[in-house]
Amino acid sequence: MMKLHCFGESGNAYKAALALQLSGLAWEAVYVDFFGGQTRGGDFRQKNVMGEVPVLEDGDTVLTQSGVIQLYVTEKTGQFGGQSPAEAREVMRWMFWDNHKMSSQAGMTRFLMNFLPPEKRPQEVIAFSQGRLKAAFATLDAALAGREWLVGDAITHADIACCGYLFYPEPFGFDRKDWPNINRWLDNIAAMPGWAHPYDLMPGNPSDRA
């Protein structure tokens, strides 16, 4: 059985976990104590020199970075990669866009607003990041106008990547009611057989540290 080293608060880990879950592959989540410093230790660095989650172990194959793990799911199952070379390129276009424009900003902003002590939260940085996120949300919402999915007529890695941070309850500048097309699209994803909320799919929850 494949093992995904992850923790519930990680939106990037959620992308990999959700791809595995929706694919029907046999996998299990292995908790990584990120907030306790596990990713900075030598044992974890032997799995991933970058010191990040997610890490997927499938026998002798060890993969890091959520996008690589998502594409590995396609290698194993043929799912989520697009139905033609043109669709595959479009899927990759959205995955790259998410990595640069959406998830990088959402992950940092959510961390600064929720997981730092209140007195250490840099308000000017947060405001700047929220402005960039608002532009990303507008791009995504416009792309979903009149569409059920970002690419083609079925869920792909484009959807799985771009939704990575948008199911989390902590405030970071995203309110579903402000973006009707995104809101509808998230409902489509949540209706997929096997879908689970990140805090149900992976171990680790802010309440564990409360």
Chain segment 182-200, per-residue pLDDT in tens: 999 999 999 999 999 999 9
Mean pLDDT of 16-20: 98
Question: Using one digit for the tens of pLDDT, what is the confidence trace for 113-156?
Answer: 999 999 999 999 999 999 999 999 999 999 999 999 999 999 99
- Flag whether pLDDT at 210 surpasses 80: no
- The alpha helices in 63-179, defined as continuous H runs, are 66-77, 85-97, 103-114, 123-143, 157-162
Cβ neighbours of residue 61 closer than 8 Å, sequence gap 6 or more: 72
* In contact, 22 and 155? CB cutoff 8 Å: yes
* In contact, 12 and 19? CB cutoff 8 Å: no
Question: Using one digit for the tens of pLDDT, what is the confidence trace for 48-59?
Answer: 888 789 999 999
Mean pLDDT in the chain? 96
The rounded distance, in Å, linking the Cα atoms of 8 and 85 is 33
- Flag whether pLDDT at 209 surpasses 90: no
* In contact, 160 and 22? CB cutoff 8 Å: yes
The radius of gyration computed from the CA coordinates of the chain, to the nearest angstrom, equals 17
Tokens of 115: 């997981």
Mean pLDDT of 8-22: 98
Cβ neighbours of residue 175 closer than 8 Å, sequence gap 6 or more: none
What's the pTM? 0.96
Share of the chain above pLDDT 70, in %: 100
| Cα 128 from chain centroid (whole Å) | 22
- Flag whether pLDDT at 10 surpasses 90: yes
Q: Which domains does the chain have, with CATH numbers?
A: 2-79+195-209 (3.40.30.10), 85-190 (1.20.1050.10)
Q: Is 40 helix (H, G, I), strand (E, B) or coil?
A: helix
Place of tokens 């689970």: 196
| Cα 158 from chain centroid (whole Å) | 11
The DSSP H or E segment spanning 31 is strand 27-31
Say what the pLDDT of residue 189 is. Answer: 98
* In contact, 27 and 4? CB cutoff 8 Å: yes
